[in-house]
Structure 1
């Protein structure tokens, strides 16, 4: 029985459920181990291998989520800040949502993984979250999902309706352009050049009027190109100019790894920035500074040469 081929899609599924990559990896490993130990009990007449594996993974996720708080982004916790000079104090007690490194799985299994949607799904109770992903993203039938969750088809349909209604109230990013879209690539390249040049006016010109900037684990966030620009001016005043950037993707969105200049030369990894580009402009930038995020993306912590531009 071949189960390793399902690793990537199970990883994406567990991430959607948990909102954190390294725990999703652990649960996929647990799923595979459980499946291997129970392989003699598998009955192909009752379910496909894929359906069986998702049942194991779902149970593992629901167990892991028992008693846990949702994983938010700062914009999900309160109103935007109107003080670009506010203290940047991390809230390490909050289990923040983390991004997904696209390079860890095939493009085909990364549908509906944009950060705004995963963040919105965090408001759902775990079983509703599972129903929504299994039915709407993975396209399992209602009877299959009922079997995976040990419930009935009417219960699955009811949970799906409640999940849809809850997400409609919260809203999400809707359809966004793919990171390999030529217009998106051009916008990100212009943003990259402006950032490396510490050109705040050029950065602001690339933003929508209501652009959002947020920086977990710092709980404050900003909305509007004016405050975005004022905060970026503060960043360059604090950390200097001459940054170096590296292109990649996360959650099916364009992303940049930002390396701050070191006093003695070279650059040190500072943040991973995940962008939403709409209408040819940056409408949202989620900036991550958690070392565990850097590890998940396998990013070098230092660059010894200013001309290092892998992925550009």
Structure 2
């Protein structure tokens, strides 16, 4: 493979989906993960003489990708994660949710399910790690991705290599150029730190990954209620202490900090400007998608002065007891990654 560009290109095609996912776990940003996957393969070609044979290629790529991500994180040391947000409804129960919503991580972006499926398919073809290890729901959910972003860079790398990819301490130490005791020490610090930011009711967090007919019907009803401006129907779909969180710049929220709402009535009231506004006012269209093994909806907004519906937000939904428990709205900059159209005509749905 040292000088065979065609063979190298075939290996890139085979391993790129899971290397990009690894970079996404490290960085939390879909777009940065794309760039770092490309950087990984550029480095791999540059240092191809270090490649020791087919049995080591996958681990070699993961090592290169991890170090590339660490280089980026070293340059981005000033990135700040909000550690707390004011809760507008302190009397409501919050037992199953993380202390802060994932949108509190400013750079966090959703990840398309069709790319996760590609990782599964590629691994099945090559006989690599089973899908249950590589794309287990609890390691691609936004709650986990946000929690990992709170860790220092090397602790983050150790946690992902050891607990997500199931590498040994020796393999992890070799990839990071450190010692086994250092890896074990980093893991001991990383695990409790991540748990502080994860949902306390683990059964809710690890709900079945596959989209059921019931889930799809619930999302369809959610879309229908909003597009028809039916506040009563929307309220029926929400749990009593439902939350809605908006990344800065997402879903009409233009502040510099994320917005966070709680309570069924509060959420329905937040939709009032669109659902109960004057005739001829703003209107919405929504398309169902899936992100991070969760149902999601892409929202388009049309203002009275516009002929088309334009990207507004991508909202990831958390479901509990056949109801919607949380709506997390992210900026629409990832629409392309989901294969979504850049606009919808007035006659489209």
SS at match of 2:196: helix
**Partner Cα separation in structure 2 for residue 194 and residue 69 of structure 1:** 42
Residue in 1 aligned with 2:179?
A: 152
CA contact under 8 A between 1:15 and 1:24: conserved in structure 2? Answer: yes
CA contact under 8 A between 2:155 and 2:190: conserved in structure 1? Answer: yes
- Among 262, 269, 276, the alignment partner of 2:311 is 269
Q: Greater CA deviation, 49-58 or 109-118?
A: 109-118
Deviations 1:65-102 (A, max 9, x none): 01434564x7x5411346xxxxxxxxxxx843111122
1:156-235 equivalent positions in 2, closer than 5 A: 156-172=183-199, 174-178=205-209, 180-217=211-248, 218=253, 219-235=258-274
CA contact under 8 A between 2:229 and 2:274: conserved in structure 1? Answer: no
Deviations 1:99-118 (A, max 9, x none): 11223342534332111111
Q: Greater CA deviation, 189-198 or 61-70?
A: 61-70
RMSD: 2.4
**Residue 290 of structure 2 is aligned to residue 249 of structure 1:** yes
SS at match of 2:191: helix
CA contact under 8 A between 1:80 and 1:220: conserved in structure 2? Answer: no
**Partner Cα separation in structure 1 for residue 281 and residue 317 of structure 2:** 23
TM-score, normalising length: structure 2: 0.77
CA contact under 8 A between 2:282 and 2:303: conserved in structure 1? Answer: no
CA contact under 8 A between 2:229 and 2:276: conserved in structure 1? Answer: no
**Partner Cα separation in structure 2 for residue 179 and residue 282 of structure 1:** 17
Give, in angstroms, the shift of residue 283 of structure 1: 1.1
In structure 2, relative to structure 1, the CA distance for the partners of 1:69 and 1:249 (3 Å cut) is farther
**Partner Cα separation in structure 1 for residue 302 and residue 210 of structure 2:** 27
Give, in angstroms, the shift of residue 154 of structure 1: 2.2
Structure 2, gaps ≥5 residues long: 2-10, 90-104, 121-133
Residue in 1 aligned with 2:86?
A: 79
Aligned residues: 293
**Partner Cα separation in structure 1 for residue 145 and residue 79 of structure 2:** 11
Give, in angstroms, the shift of residue 208 of structure 1: 1.5
Give, in angstroms, the shift of residue 168 of structure 1: 1.9
CA contact under 8 A between 2:112 and 2:291: conserved in structure 1? Answer: yes
Residue in 2 aligned with 1:131?
A: 158
Give, in angstroms, the shift of residue 266 of structure 1: 4.1
**Partner Cα separation in structure 1 for residue 263 and residue 208 of structure 2:** 21
Residue in 1 aligned with 2:37?
A: 28
Deviations 1:120-166 (A, max 9, x none): 11111111111111111112222111111111222222222211111
In structure 2, relative to structure 1, the CA distance for the partners of 1:107 and 1:52 (3 Å cut) is closer
